[in-house]
Structure 1
Amino acid sequence: MAKTRAKPTVVLGMLGTTLDTGQGPQRWTKWRPTVALCQQEDLVVSRLELLHAPRASALAATLVDDIRQVSPETEVRLTPLDIANPWDLEETYGALLDYARAYPFNPEEEDYLVHITTGTHIVQICMFLLVESRLIPGRLVQVSPKGREPSAAGTHALIDLDLSRYDTLAARFRKEQREGLSFLKAGIDTRNAGFNQLIERIEQVATRSRAPLLLMGPTGAGKSQLARRVYELKKTRRGVSGPFVDLNCATLRGDSAMSTLFGHVKGAFTGAVQDRPGLLRQANGGVLFLDEIGELGADEQAMLLRALEDKRFLPVGSDKEVESDFQLIAGTNRDLHEEVEKGRFREDLLARINLWTFQLPALRERPEDIPPNLLYELDRASEVVGARVTFSKEAQARFLDFATAPEARWTGNFRDLNAAVLRMATLAPGGRITREVVDEELHRLRAQWRPRGGPDKRGPPDRVAEVLGEDLASELDRFDRVQLADVLDACQGARSLSEAGRVLFSRSRAKKTSVNDADRLKKYLARFGLTWADVGGRATPPRDGLEKKESTQGK
């Protein structure tokens, strides 16, 4: 079998006007990257395409002679490349791109390397981009001196962007991204696909943009905590250098609102005994989080819009503008579009802060995320009470069955969950949350979520809970609960067990598959520990002896 002939290696590189310099015999005592490239024992350079500035022609000619001495087999081709400013990215990339497009590459016959040890950093970046985009069909090569031997050839390294080195970099990037996502979720292993996708998008925007973010969602959905974590992530990635400043706009009252946000000068109003910088100036270089931004008054909205657009505003009582460059994160539980229609929120301000809007879901919309959040809240509660608190297996299952059921309203979202866990942790005997502690908390939550007002606001009565009690009713599957509720309604309107049975099993009677309706109903009620006396409706005297007998049998 014939041996495959190795393809010749062609190197493209830029002459280094600093590193490659040297005159007279002394130049051989200096390490020069372009000459060293042609001295590598295990790298035979068949042809060197040496790009150089026109003014460096003499230096290029010297290199050609020196390379001929150390590597006679290497052909050197000089190409003047007129770049007025080699530190200008656009000009440099344009010149190198034109060269690459015009070069007669033939990958089937030649292997190509791009030397990135020499040239300005801009040149090196452009070379990398041309190889990475495959406009130059080759690999990168770099050389480095060996120890303290300036005259030695040193070593070289190949960087193939299609091989494992690039995969390793990509893996590191993905790892960093995963760490960012985990950080935004406070390390909680959330399972809701929609929420995880939302956090992934927030991570992308937070690390790449300083534009305003608008976090929408119900009270207690975690807007404040997420805003702070966005700031901390940005600071870790060096996206901001200033502080995190937060304010709930619902706490602003009257004339102090403008001063709180924009500051004032001494003497601006009665009681202004000294200058006050205001929160916008305090947030300079950092992040300003305005929760419940829909509560801002019209004047504050106008001033905030100016500050966002121009980075300048007037403190109260001042005729001199001040500057502040901050990123705004706004939070709201209102529909700001609806507020605009009602004339309560400025349309131009909404347009300014609505570039990146994220809707945080309510806790009840993420039942699969309640178990990991329960453990997170338990760790936080343990820190508060100063001792490690755990659930018994039965107690944890009991709480989660309730917490993920449709009846769990979680009107306060994570605030409700946090408070519930903290109460249970406080009451846990010996640091162990028992079923009794959980049952007490479930009773408290049901009472807390029970609608207030008249019967018309409460809706129809819950017959299952009335008959079985709330604790037993909460343990039923939804299917069984709906079925039992219908049976109880039928019993409530019947005068006897037999009459209720005839109503419930009328289809079976028509098909004559069963005639003992009273017995069927009695056995069904017994499954829940109930008798006719517990659920019977209209108490009227029996019309005849037969019905009296049936009623007695039902008992």
Structure 2
Amino acid sequence: MIGFLGTTLDRGGRGGWRPTVSLCQEDGFAVDRLELLFDYKFNRLAHEVKRQIEKVSPDTEVLLQRMDLSDPWDLEEVYGKLYDFAQNYGFDEDRERYHIHLTTGTHVAQICWFLLSESRHIPAALIQTAPPRKGTEEPAKFDLIDLDLSRYDAIQKRFDLQTQEYGNLLKGGIETRNSIYNDLISRIEQVTSLSDAPILITGETGVGKTEMAARIYEMKLQRRRVKGRFVHVNCATLRGDMALPTLFGQRRGYTGIAGSERAGLLREADGGVLFLDEIDTLGMDEQSLLLQAIETGRYHPLGSDAEVTSRFQVIAAATRDLATLVAENKFRIDLLSRLNMWAFHLPPLRNRIDDIEVNMRHEMEKAEKAIGNRIGFNADAAETWLRFARASDTGWPGNFRDFGGAILRLSTLAPRGRITLNQVYEEIDRLRQGWAAAQTDADADLVAGVTDLDVDPFDIPQLANVIRVCRASKSLSDAGRKLFSVSLQQRNTKNDSDRLRKYLTRYGLSWDNITN
């Protein structure tokens, strides 16, 4: 048996009960050797306890081990001394069984005993004793704390269940099947459970960045890692003179308008989460001030000499690639470095085909609640819809926003609560026409943004595609190889960069025009 001398209890202050002496009197539990650790200041008490044990249990060998502690409540000191004791002891598990007496010593000592036992630095079971109940003749309590694997397994199952519940929360209650997405959710759960560093969520429009940020906040709230509000800031709306006061607040009268004092969104997020949605649209001046507030938790409202403190966790979301924006001098590299501690990219719907059906059921449940009616697909309608939704040429440019909107329309227009095949055909046509029109507009805007020449509508899609490939390539040669990869195999001359340069020249363009 190994244990500390109880500097209070072993004096017999609780009804004469001395835990270390009582330990050696337990029926059916013979203590062959007791290693009693004591501080030099309690030398007399240690020897008194030793004499008492020798009197009531003559077969117990009591070895007094002096361990001086300048502060028995200092975790680092206590653990270090006990660790050294364990390293030098010379345990022989083949010949002896070891136990640690937890009852005596400070709470810090008890924690250290547990850690050393659990890590097997001390190969010992734990013993907890307690005095008999007052006014009874019951014996003193004696409990063996058995840290066996079966109990560990039960505890681990509870932790696993809790982790699963948090994972379900992050997935919005949807039993997703996509392994890449599920692995991503597991990593987000692990990080958000342990870290309060900034989180950056990236992905195409409609992949669910806002919903994920709100779920992360809800999980942190349940785990008591935050206490304040979830403050959603749409950075795309922060324009002009109102951007800074909206974020940082302003003192009354700063703009010369009575009653214009405002706290600002950063102040409202104190103790909670500040969600910076579409941060890729935030202006450079706002980025600079925001970085300081994130790093220090302090800032000045407009028109105020008094510094304000607000501590919050930051979750940012971006559709565009922030590293590309840094290269284009449209985003601060120091802010990106601060936000990029934990970055998670949400995959688009077209890369999660195995989750189409479960998300369809989820969206129908949402539609039923919104409409107030039970909704179902006819068998042929469901088959046709799923085939379309999973097809490789169904790009879902709006991702879950398009998908959820389509299910809501189908559910709302379903006659007698049944979605028919004709409805599905109509919805498919509607989606394709909308996507084609949006792509045509996007191509026209892209081309108009780089050339003043009139371009035939027939040529606009091709030129827009060329511009996109160039902007995603490292060099003119790299872009040429991508654009002419098929014909490259059929030609002797392979000067793709010259071919691409001539194509751009037809429209008065150059590599620098479209990439800078």
Distance 1:52 1:330, change over 3 A: same
- The 5 A counterparts of 1:173-212 are 173-212=159-198
* Structure (1 or 2) with the larger CA radius of gyration: 1
Letter aligned with residue 415 of structure 2: P
Distance across 2 between alignment mates of 1:66 and 1:136: 27
Name the structure 2 match of 1:425.
411
Name the structure 2 match of 1:35.
21
Once the two structures are superposed, residues 392-430 of structure 1 have per-residue CA deviations (whole angstroms, 9 ceiling, x without a partner) of 333222211111111222111111111111111111222
- The 5 A counterparts of 1:226-245 are 226-245=212-231
Unaligned runs of 5+ in 1: 1-10, 460-555
Name the structure 2 match of 1:120.
106
CA contact (8 A) 1:13 1:50 kept: yes
Name the structure 2 match of 1:12.
2
Name the structure 2 match of 1:288.
274
- Offset at residue 296 of structure 1 (A): 1.1
User: Secondary structure at the residue paired with 2:270?
Assistant: coil
Answer yes or no: is 1:75 the counterpart of 2:75.
Answer: no
Distance across 2 between alignment mates of 1:440 and 1:270: 56
Tell me the matched-pair count: 445
User: Secondary structure at the residue paired with 1:130?
Assistant: helix
- The 5 A counterparts of 1:126-525 are 126-145=112-131, 147-148=133-134, 152-271=138-257, 273-450=259-436, 451-452=439-440, 454-456=457-459
Answer yes or no: is 1:57 the counterpart of 2:47.
Answer: no
Answer yes or no: is 1:91 the counterpart of 2:77.
Answer: yes
- Offset at residue 183 of structure 1 (A): 1.2
Larger displacement relative to structure 2 (376-385 or 136-145): 136-145
CA contact (8 A) 1:40 1:155 kept: no
User: Secondary structure at the residue paired with 1:20?
Assistant: helix
Distance across 2 between alignment mates of 1:71 and 1:19: 19
Distance 1:149 1:396, change over 3 A: farther
Letter aligned with residue 179 of structure 1: E
User: Secondary structure at the residue paired with 2:411?
Assistant: helix
User: Secondary structure at the residue paired with 1:452?
Assistant: helix
User: Secondary structure at the residue paired with 2:381?
Assistant: helix
TM-score norm. by structure 1 comes to 0.76
Letter aligned with residue 88 of structure 2: A
Once the two structures are superposed, residues 191-239 of structure 1 have per-residue CA deviations (whole angstroms, 9 ceiling, x without a partner) of 1111111111111110111110000111111111111111111111111
Larger displacement relative to structure 2 (83-92 or 329-338): 83-92
Letter aligned with residue 120 of structure 1: T
Unaligned runs of 5+ in 2: 442-456, 463-516
User: Secondary structure at the residue paired with 2:143?
Assistant: strand
- Offset at residue 248 of structure 1 (A): 1.1
- Offset at residue 274 of structure 1 (A): 4.0
- Offset at residue 383 of structure 1 (A): 1.0
Distance across 2 between alignment mates of 1:36 and 1:390: 72
Distance 1:402 1:367, change over 3 A: same
- Offset at residue 64 of structure 1 (A): 2.5
- Offset at residue 67 of structure 1 (A): 3.0
Distance across 2 between alignment mates of 1:30 and 1:425: 77
User: Secondary structure at the residue paired with 1:273?
Assistant: coil
Letter aligned with residue 433 of structure 2: A
Name the structure 2 match of 1:22.
12
CA contact (8 A) 1:37 1:153 kept: no
- Offset at residue 148 of structure 1 (A): 4.5
- Offset at residue 283 of structure 1 (A): 0.7
- Offset at residue 162 of structure 1 (A): 4.5
Distance 1:406 1:457, change over 3 A: farther
Distance across 2 between alignment mates of 1:427 and 1:148: 75
Letter aligned with residue 452 of structure 1: T
TM-score norm. by structure 2 comes to 0.82
Distance across 1 between alignment mates of 2:211 and 2:148: 41
Distance across 2 between alignment mates of 1:22 and 1:40: 17
Once the two structures are superposed, residues 130-162 of structure 1 have per-residue CA deviations (whole angstroms, 9 ceiling, x without a partner) of 112211112222224555567744333333434
- Offset at residue 102 of structure 1 (A): 1.4
Distance across 1 between alignment mates of 2:288 and 2:420: 54
Letter aligned with residue 324 of structure 1: S
Once the two structures are superposed, residues 111-136 of structure 1 have per-residue CA deviations (whole angstroms, 9 ceiling, x without a partner) of 01112222222111111111122111
Name the structure 2 match of 1:481.
none
Distance 1:394 1:45, change over 3 A: farther
